[in-house]
Amino acid sequence: MTKVERAAHVLGRLEGLYPETPIPLDHTDSYTLLIAVLLSAQCTDERVNKITPALFELANTPEAMALVPVEAIREIIKPCGLSPRKSVAISGLSKILVEKYDGRVPENMELLEELPGVGHKTASVVMSQAFGEPAFPVDTHIHRLAQRWKLTNGKNVVQTEKDLKRAFPRESWNKLHLQIIFYGREYCTARGCDGTVCPICKELFPERKRGVKTKK
């Protein structure tokens, strides 16, 4: 198959497997989604969803969170890991949202990336899932699968994002990035498949004998 054919095959197969793509992180609005995505760095969505109810009961708006001591935020989010850094970021970005944006999450990628603790991937998730703007956030699952499916050279996540945006129609990005994540968790896991085991890997590369070593 050519790269174009592989991309079309992936798109069709994932649409068949995951016609619905619920957002994995529990939230009620753009602010609570932003906080949940920030917490998900180096932490599973499942664990984040266990922690955020207590956090959002304490404060679920920028105005309320800005008044909460960093230590209190840190105590709740400890199970997520990186709690010192994340608690400072949550407090800091909440104060900025109040002071600069009237308590609203900006619908702008560059402004989001200026907030403490908000990198490109987090901003991309918020833009796509909260505001419906086409984006292609690349996490470890997507980076791994894109390499196994030869849709990117895998130099880094920045290059992977560019390659996937070129490979797939813009209107598919928001749903597709979730579909790939779901597939990576269910079928094409880091240890369960090396590019030769899962259904899509075998369909794309039936003659492949050697596993694919993921580039970081």
Q: Which residues are catalytic?
A: 121, 139
Please tell me the distance from the alpha carbon of residue 69 to that of residue 87, in angstroms, as a whole number. 9
Q: Which two tokens stand for residue 170?
A: 């813009």
Closest residue by Cα to residue 90 from 31, 50, 149, 136: 31
- Tokens 């990186």 -> residue: 82
Half-sphere exposure of 125 (CA within 13 A, CB side): 23
Burial class, 46, CB count within 10 angstroms (exposed 0-12 / middle 13-18 / buried 19+):
exposed
Q: Are 168 and 11 in contact (CB under 8 A)?
A: yes
